[in-house]
């Protein structure tokens, strides 16, 4: 679909009886997939990966951990590292 430039959009809006201020600030329609997509719930203590909250344990993939969940890094620890993924405590998890 081709985007219309602002002058053409205003002419079309004015012809339809919409004020210029309303036409200029109107939000574009959302796609059906954007409104029906599931909301992801991620652990807020980690940034760069979506770790599901309330699971028993995560370990770094390729490491010596026993799971049951594995995650590839590196990514940031921005809160409490309750899964112990930042072994050297520098704020970056699963970096080796």
The tens digit of pLDDT for each residue in 47-90 reads 999 999 989 999 999 988 899 999 999 999 999 999 999 999 99
User: 3-class secondary structure for 14-70?
Assistant: HHCCCCHHHHHHCCCCCCHHHHHCCCCCCCCCEECCCCCCCCCCEEECCCCCCCCEE
Measured from the Cβ of residue 57, the count of other Cβ atoms closer than 10 Å reads 13
Mean pLDDT of 7-34: 47
pLDDT of the residue at 23 = 42
- Residue pLDDT, tens place only, 55-66: 999 999 998 889
């Amino acid at each position: 679909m081709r985007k219309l430039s602002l002058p053409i959009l205003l002419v079309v809006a004015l012809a339809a009886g919409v004020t210029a201020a309303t036409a200029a600030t109107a939000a574009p329609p959302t796609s059906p997939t954007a409104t029906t997509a599931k909301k992801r719930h991620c652990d807020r203590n980690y940034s760069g990966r979506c770790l599901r909250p309330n699971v028993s344990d995560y370990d770094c993939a390729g490491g010596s951990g026993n799971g049951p969940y594995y995650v590839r890094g590196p990514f940031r620890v921005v809160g409490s590292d309750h899964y112990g993924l930042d072994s050297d405590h520098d704020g970056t998890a699963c970096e080796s």
